[in-house]
Amino acid sequence: MTTPTFVALPERVGQITATNINGLQRGYLSDQPRAVAALARLRRGAGKDVHQVPDLWGLIDTGPLHDPTHEGGLPPREDDLARAEDAVHVALTLWALHQQSRGTGMHRTDRKDAPTGLGSAVRRLMPKGDIDETILKRLVRAGHAPDLPSLAQRLREIVLLLRREDIPLDYALLAGQLCHWQRPGGRDDVRRAWGRSFHAYRPAKDSEPDPGDRAGSTPATGPASDSDTTKDAS
């Protein structure tokens, strides 16, 4: 008999988010009609409470959250389940907004040699060797959001900037952090993780210039358009 491997709920949330996104991202980049339509539906939920968008019910597979192979070997309690479902919803809808009209995958796994955590992504919006206070304040405001709906709205503002500059983000990592953020004491842990990600980012020596170094680039003050274009028009 195989002993089940217990997985912490935030990690389970990250796994579920990655599974949902990976298939849709491949389909979207291949211009598959089903995936394109799914992203259009998901985008409409960005920044909104999951219960405000019944069109998304059944589109996001959160079934594995009910599997007892997690902390303690028991199904999640109702409040933990709600937090987990909300975290998956926020992450997927933000990714769909981020992916809109982009020709490469905007969900990319965070790696030490290619960091894509939220702090690192925000740092990439700034010129090398300089701190843009306007952009930094967006990250700080997100970290100090009073509740998840406010956090989702503030993250949406950041995602629009990242989309404009084709900067990817690890949405599985973000989803797990959003799940933990809702737990008692979790906000401090997540803020600390975002801060470390921000300060630890170092551009690769031979990489493409960061968006903040591009001539004429003004990511701090320019408008972040979320208008639909090309195949995303819906």
pTM of the model: 0.84
Other CB atoms within a 10 A radius of the CB of residue 164 amount to: 18
DSSP state of 180: H
Contacts of 45-48 with CB under 8 Å at 24 or more apart are 45/89, 45/93, 45/96, 46/93, 46/94, 46/96, 46/97, 46/152, 46/156, 46/159, 47/93, 47/149, 47/152, 47/153, 47/156, 48/93, 48/149, 48/152
CA–CA gap between residue 98 and residue 155 (Å, rounded) = 11
Please answer whether residues 99 and 25 qualify as being in contact, where contact means their C-beta atoms are separated by less than 8 angstroms. Answer: yes
- pLDDT at residue 71 in the model: 58
Angle at 231 between CA 217 and CA 122, to 5 degrees: 30
For the stretch 37-87, pLDDT in tens is 999 999 987 766 666 666 776 777 787 787 766 556 666 788 888 899 999
Judge whether residue 18 has pLDDT over 90.
yes
Query: b/e for 107-118, b at 16 or more Cβ within 10 A?
Result: bbebeeeebbbb
